[in-house]
């Protein structure tokens, strides 16, 4: 072979090596870009799931706070109703103190005692919320 043929052969081999190197480098760049895009998609999905979880947690927290406030209000209402009925029973007992010496109670006092016992039994078995949609019933003379 002559020098021109060897030069041409070397040039062709160098050109082939350059083309292979460029193709391989481009392939690796594309592969890395594809992996990065896939990773970004997975990261976005994870972020969306986390944001949904956070939103759900905030909603559940708000519901729990509302339920807690409602329960606190029901407890306060129940305490107020209990205090009112206790005052009414004491007032009625003061009026009939002389007749109780012989263990005679006024009919109104007995009715209030029975009603208080029934409310206490209902609260013990059904919880604080009454059958009137969560409202605490009026007691004593105020509810008659």
Higher pLDDT, 83 or 127: 83
CB 80 within 8 A of CB 107: no
Tell me the pLDDT tens digit for each residue of 26-51: 899 989 999 999 999 999 999 999 99
pTM, two decimals, is: 0.45
More confident residue, 41 or 134: 41
Contact 139, 115 (CB under 8 A): yes
Burial state string for 56-84 with b = 16 or more CB within 10 A and e = fewer than 16: eeeeeeeeeeeeeeeeeebeebbeebbeb
If you average pLDDT over every residue of the chain, what do you get?
A: 84
């Amino acid at each position: 072979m002559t020098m021109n043929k060897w030069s041409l052969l070397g040039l062709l081999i160098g050109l082939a090596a350059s083309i292979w190197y460029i193709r391989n480098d481009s392939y690796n760049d594309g592969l890395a870009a594809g992996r990065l895009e896939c990773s970004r998609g997975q990261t976005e999905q994870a972020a969306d799931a986390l944001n949904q979880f956070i939103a759900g947690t905030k909603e559940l927290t708000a519901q729990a706070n509302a339920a807690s406030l409602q329960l606190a209000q029901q407890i306060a209402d129940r305490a107020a109703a209990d205090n009112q009925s206790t005052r009414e029973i004491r007032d009625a007992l003061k009026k009939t103190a002389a007749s109780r010496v012989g263990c005679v109670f006024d009919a109104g006092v007995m009715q209030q005692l029975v009603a208080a016992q029934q409310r206490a039994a209902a609260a013990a078995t059904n919880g604080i919320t009454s059958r009137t949609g969560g409202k605490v019933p009026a007691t004593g003379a105020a509810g008659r």
